[in-house]
Structure 1
Amino acid sequence: MIFIGNWRSFGKVGGWKCENQKFLCMFACFNEVYMHKIYFENRCIIICEFGNEALADSNAVIFHPGERMDISTFASMFEVTKSLSKIYIPTSDIDAMYKNLCAQFKEVNAAGGLVVNRRGDYLLIKRNAKWDLPKGHQEAGEDIRVTAVREVEEETGVDKLELGPLICVTDHCYLRDGVWHLKHTWWYEMLYNAPVDLIPQREEDISKAAWVAKSSLPPFLKNTYPSILEVFRESRL
């Protein structure tokens, strides 16, 4: 089923705790629009309400699952149909559907930052030929905010960061050693005010770290991931 129309970007951010209490899972809402996104590289699954106008997307497929859902079904759909960009799952219980999907993954937590300096420039890194934001996995027992600051410092060489508010949490999945992983990444605003040479972390396949003026962002953002675009949309910087 295809619905014709335009997709609306997110606005206000909120959150809820998953059943196992191990992490805070975020959702985004625009007015009363409430949904979860799970990214598969440049494509995504969107869990949303029935009849929501966000379903009005001419490039998407509407998926009505039965009682049981296998994540490999969605992976196969994306693999077989390369032009498929979004799969919508309409449901009357978004939280339950999201937790159902989460339970099929090995879940991992990560954090990173959208860093801006006093001039208003943004800190970007180039990893595997794509422009990205610095981020990395949470260590055992580590506060997620500490993870965010540590990973930005390690991947770019900056220090003395001023941690700001949480922007959003993005989800993306990947297959590793035959196991599907779901990474929840917490994104924070950060301010940096000390002059220092940027040092990209080569062992993490980061070839470049750069300060980019806001007016110069468009060509960089054309070569990045949808989840990173979401972070920029949600940020108030």
Structure 2
Amino acid sequence: MDEAGIRVAVSTVIVALRPHPDTGAPALWMPLVRRIAEPFEGSWALPGGWVGVDEGLEDSAAARLRETTNVQPRYLEQLYAFGDVGRSPSRVVSIVYWALVHPDEANVVPDDWNVRWFLADEHPPLAFDHDRIVEYALWRLRTKMSYSRIAQAFLGDRFTLAELRGVYEAVLGRALDPANFRRQVEKTDAILPTDETTSGGRHRPARLYRSNPDLAYADNGPLQQGTPPQNRQEPPCPSRRPSN
């Protein structure tokens, strides 16, 4: 590609639930990588890299995640394209993904000088326009909680209603009434009860649930043959929607 050409990169916002350092309650965290070259040498940034010549976009996003953070997420969704002219010293368009990971997947991410976990709402200033990207990703996540089953992407194969409610509370940033939450969730077909219960705790065993395998977490691009279409569309961003 010549010097005047546009280069294409991929970046990924990884989000996981981990205990808050002060309260111990579930909170949103994301890993960032430290840049080792200019521009923005030494600054924190989203994990990513260039799109490979022989790679599709999602394959590139997954490969760059493995290389920088060891994460191999089950849930990887294209978020948006960021291509403002002044976002980088050279002309770069970034195809941004987000990966929602459950605790076992999050545990493989190193936490050292080069890669570090930060509270999603309390991260340091980021390189390029990555602050704007994270802001948009968190808005999209909170918006999707109202109409999709994306919350279940943070959990393992089996979970309690209390654990599911904890995801909602961490993402939305507010407490939810347990009884009302149970009634609302049990009206849907997003989760299915199992015959299993928790064990080994001090409290009464709680029923375990699982995600409905017939429903996708969220719309993830063009439909595959035989895949039912999503019935609900995302609402427009109320402010500062990125432009590509």
TM bin (shorter chain): 0.3 to 0.5
Normalised to the residue count of structure 2, the TM-score between the two structures is 0.43
Normalised to the residue count of structure 1, the TM-score between the two structures is 0.45
In proportion to residue count, which structure has more strand? 1
